[in-house]
């Protein structure tokens, strides 16, 4: 049976939105009405990263549905929240064009972009021509280092993971690090950070076998090359599914060391793609189901019911879900649905006011001056050689 999910529904909705915009005569749905708040989204909805783009979209849509159910009142007036999505196929230029369209045609005061290239392109815009608050879903620390005042960075920065990951995996004197990360720009940034950290502690970094996870037809070759140098720890990670296949291949070829996983790879997704035992002795980000925030159970049920039962819920969905609740609350606090600066300024107060229902996976406790949503008690997950998950608190660097 073909999988049924709201994704096709949302895709249809996105197309309809486009059509309605084109005709522009239809009031209400899609366009900017006096009683709607439009949240803009430009992400990869087709092409190689489409699954990722849909995860983000699902998170935004779930939050919007929940908010509408509860009712949104800004400055005494009731509003419906709507999502306007555009496909950018992961291209920075298209993301910038989309952001401009969303800001000017749909009057979106908040626009989400889930990739570092697109975020940087959109930052050029929101500081010059059009004002909008940029919901930046990328763990690349560069996006808050630009000094853009209308950026809200959603996930933890990957900089915060490197040192604790290396700490944990070098406890027994492991000294040889194999590199098998993904060859994207983001993967290379990670590879560089982890290499520097490892060398800084006197460890040996072996040859760089980074490959493009999307285009390699057989992972056995790169894995054998990496294993031929006898690493104690292998750094890898990209989308969860190919990462799981690479881990499985390494175990098949007899590797019994540790894995240091980039934050893009999620344990809960990898468990679906390979025998979970292969993932033993690995460190990575904490699975959503391991949180015990007030809304965690609800969102797990909601996701299974409204989106899909075939895939586990990950932080790609939940972090965006939480952040929509924050910006809408900030609109309520600011008493404005279109003043991006006022909305941004209201976020620190809004964080404390968001209903517990929206606290699902490490709800932010602060927004830094640079615009980074952070949870003070961030934890990571280490899967022990016995297959149990241990959660380790980590320090986040100052920004």
Partner 1 sequence: MTLFIQQLFDGLALGGVYCLAAIGLTLVFGVLRIPNLAHGTLYMLGAYVTYFFLVTVGVPYVAAIGLAAVVLAVIGVLLERLVFHPLRNAPHTHHMIAAVGAMFFFQAVAQALWGADFRRMESPISGNVTILGAQVSWQRIVIVVTAVLVLGLLTWFIKRSIHGQTIEAIEQDRTGSSLVGISPSRVSMLTFGLAAALATVAAGLVAPINLLSPTMGDALSLKVFAIIILGGLGSLPGAIVGGFTLALAEVMTSTYVSAAAGEGIAFVVIVIVLAIRPTGLFAKAVQR
Contact footprint for partner 1 (CB under 8 A): 1-3, 5, 7-8, 45-48, 50-51, 53-54, 183, 207-212, 214-222, 224-225, 228, 239, 241-242, 245, 249, 252-254, 273, 311
- For partner 1, the closer of residues 7 and 383 by Cβ is 7
- Minimum CB separation from partner 1 for residue 183, in Å? 8
- Minimum CB separation from partner 1 for residue 51, in Å? 4
- Minimum CB separation from partner 1 for residue 253, in Å? 5
- Minimum CB separation from partner 1 for residue 209, in Å? 5
Please list the residues that pair with 389 across neighbouring strands.
383
- CA-CA distances (angstroms) from residue 45 to 10, 117, 235, 320, 348? 11, 16, 29, 16, 31
- For partner 1, the closer of residues 1 and 25 by Cβ is 1
Q: How far apart are CA 67 and CA 328, in angstroms?
A: 8
Q: How far apart are CA 186 and CA 158, in angstroms?
A: 10
Supply φ then ψ for residue 4, to 5 degrees: -110, 140
- For partner 1, the closer of residues 200 and 221 by Cβ is 221
DSSP letter assigned to residue 26: -
- For partner 1, the closer of residues 168 and 225 by Cβ is 225
- For partner 1, the closer of residues 11 and 74 by Cβ is 11
In this structure, are residues 144 and 371 in contact, taking their beta carbons and an 8 Å threshold?
A: yes
- Minimum CB separation from partner 1 for residue 284, in Å? 18
H/E stretch holding 208 reads: strand 204-208
- Minimum CB separation from partner 1 for residue 187, in Å? 12
- For partner 1, the closer of residues 128 and 217 by Cβ is 217
- Minimum CB separation from partner 1 for residue 87, in Å? 11
- For partner 1, the closer of residues 223 and 346 by Cβ is 223
Q: How far apart are CA 47 and CA 90, in angstroms?
A: 8
- Minimum CB separation from partner 1 for residue 59, in Å? 15
In this structure, are residues 85 and 17 in contact, taking their beta carbons and an 8 Å threshold?
A: yes
Q: For residue 305, what are its two tokens?
A: 């019911």
- For partner 1, the closer of residues 189 and 249 by Cβ is 249
DSSP letter assigned to residue 274: S
- Minimum CB separation from partner 1 for residue 129, in Å? 32
- For partner 1, the closer of residues 51 and 342 by Cβ is 51
Q: Which long-range contacts (CB under 8 A, 24 or more apart) does 250-254 make?
A: 250/223, 250/226, 251/278, 253/220, 253/223, 253/224, 253/227, 254/227
Q: Is 252 helix (H, G, I), strand (E, B) or coil?
A: helix
Q: Is 103 helix (H, G, I), strand (E, B) or coil?
A: helix
Q: Is 185 helix (H, G, I), strand (E, B) or coil?
A: helix
How many CA within 13 A on the CB side of residue 114?
31
- For partner 1, the closer of residues 224 and 384 by Cβ is 224
- For partner 1, the closer of residues 183 and 380 by Cβ is 183
Place of tokens 């496909």: 87
- Minimum CB separation from partner 1 for residue 62, in Å? 17
- Minimum CB separation from partner 1 for residue 222, in Å? 6
Give every CB contact of residue 215 below 8 A, 6+ residues apart in sequence: none
In this structure, are residues 154 and 369 in contact, taking their beta carbons and an 8 Å threshold?
A: no
């Amino acid at each position: 049976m073909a999988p049924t999910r709201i994704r096709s529904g949302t895709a249809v909705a996105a197309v309809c939105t486009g059509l309605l915009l084109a005709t522009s005569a239809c009031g209400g749905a899609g366009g900017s009405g006096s009683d709607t708040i439009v949240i803009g989204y430009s992400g990869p909805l087709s092409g190689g990263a489409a699954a990722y783009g849909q995860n983000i979209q699902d998170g935004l849509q779930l939050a919007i549905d929940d908010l509408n159910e509860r009712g949104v009142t800004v400055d005494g007036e009731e509003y419906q929240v709507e999502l306007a999505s555009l496909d950018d196929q992961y291209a920075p230029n298209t993301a910038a064009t989309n952001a401009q369209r969303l800001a000017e045609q749909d009057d979106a005061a908040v626009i989400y972009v889930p990739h570092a290239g697109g975020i940087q392109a959109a930052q050029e815009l929101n500081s010059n021509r059009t004002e909008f608050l940029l919901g930046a879903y990328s763990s690349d620390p560069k996006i808050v280092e630009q000094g853009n005042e209308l950026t809200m960075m959603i996930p933890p920065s990957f900089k915060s993971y490197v040192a604790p990951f290396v700490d944990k995996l070098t406890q027994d004197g492991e000294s040889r690090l194999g590199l098998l990360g993904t060859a994207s720009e983001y993967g290379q940034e990670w590879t560089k950070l982890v290499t520097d950290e490892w060398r800084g502690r006197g460890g040996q970094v072996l040859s760089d076998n980074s490959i493009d996870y999307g285009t390699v037809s057989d992972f056995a070759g790169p894995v054998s090359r990496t294993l031929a140098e006898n690493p104690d720890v292998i750094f890898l990670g990209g989308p969860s599914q190919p990462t799981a296949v690479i881990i499985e291949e390494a175990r098949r070829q007899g590797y019994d060391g540790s894995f240091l996983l980039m934050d893009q790879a999620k344990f809960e997704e990898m468990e679906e793609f390979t025998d979970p035992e292969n993932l033993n002795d690995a460190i990575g980000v904490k699975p959503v189901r391991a949180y015990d925030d007030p809304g965690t159970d609800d969102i797990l049920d909601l996701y299974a019911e409204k989106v899909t039962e075939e895939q586990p819920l990950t932080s790609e969905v939940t972090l965006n879900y939480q952040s929509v609740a924050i910006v809408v609350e900030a609109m309520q606090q600011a008493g404005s649905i279109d003043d991006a600066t006022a909305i941004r300024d209201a976020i620190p107060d809004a964080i404390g006011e968001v209903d517990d229902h929206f606290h699902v996976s490490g709800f932010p406790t602060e927004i830094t001056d640079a615009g980074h949503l952070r949870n003070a008690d961030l934890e990571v997950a280490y899967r022990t050689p016995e297959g149990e998950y241990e959660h380790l608190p980590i320090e986040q660097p100052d920004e």
